Structure 1
């Protein structure tokens, strides 16, 4: 019998990115600290775009679409995470505008079946020189369209 590599669980839209909760992510009550959820989401978001070639390597001008800022963050906690181990962040785009976007997320079980927290975040693409809103690149928009949640 040949061992197969685990496959990413299917989701109806967006992407499911694996993350790991470590023992030191838990608070004194043994719960995933509330501030760790946005951190895990940020790491998953960074990983997703890294896979599309969007990254920061020390030069903001060269970073292109990676030069962006958070305008808004909303998160609702649904159920406590009580132990370390494998989990996932489900990411998708709600809106992809000219200079901004809104993405949705769920912090969930590794298979995507159980939701522990969910929310959304608004990002604005910035010109590294002026720090004013700038349009997303065509490549970013193409990759982003694949992440849009279907209407309805």
Structure 2
């Protein structure tokens, strides 16, 4: 794969571009960002975005509210290698916001969003802390989530 083979960046008419940093120790023995680090970077970007809206997790599942959720599915494709530490970004958006679940999309990209290195989707299910059964997202969470929905045209 080469950087030229990656997909062209879409216009950021939806979602948010969140800065992330790749450190030297995120690279594998060949000097490439290890494939398992991409989902970690995406998770950190989502945490930054939701924390910016006043959501967070402090280790108490009862108080976690909408942060009490579990991953149902993760899909990722790698379009071009990241071959050096430095500043990058993750483009985040929601594909679907259901009653108890959601699907978000992401692109791991250059800091300006112009070059895509990896992309994918992740399905989350909101859980009730006491039973770990699906439960609806809060109205506050849904309001923020609607701002992140990718419009279908």
Task: Please tell me the TM-score bracket, short chain as reference.
Answer: over 0.9
Q: By how many angstroms is 1:124 displaced? A: 0.2
Q: By how many angstroms is 1:53 displaced? A: 1.3
What is the alpha-carbon distance in structure 1 between the residues aligned to residue 118 and residue 80 of structure 2? 7
Q: By how many angstroms is 1:52 displaced? A: 1.1
Q: CA RMSD in A?
A: 0.8
> What are the Cα deviations for residues 77-107 of structure 1, in whole angstroms up to 9, with x where unaligned?
0000000000000000000000000000000
State the TM-score, normalizing by the size of structure 1: 0.92
What is the alpha-carbon distance in structure 1 between the residues aligned to residue 12 and residue 112 of structure 2? 9
SS of the equivalent of 1:55 reads coil
* Deviant stretches of 4+, over 3 Å: none
**Deviates further, 109-118 or 44-53:** 44-53
SS of the equivalent of 1:139 reads helix
State the TM-score, normalizing by the size of structure 2: 0.92
Task: Indicate the residue corresponding to 2:6 in structure 1.
Answer: none
* Superposed counterparts of 1:112-131, under 5 Å: 112-131=113-132
1:45 partnered with 2:41 = no
1:111 partnered with 2:105 = no
SS of the equivalent of 1:33 reads coil
1:138 partnered with 2:135 = no
Any unmatched runs of 5+ in structure 2?
A: 1-10
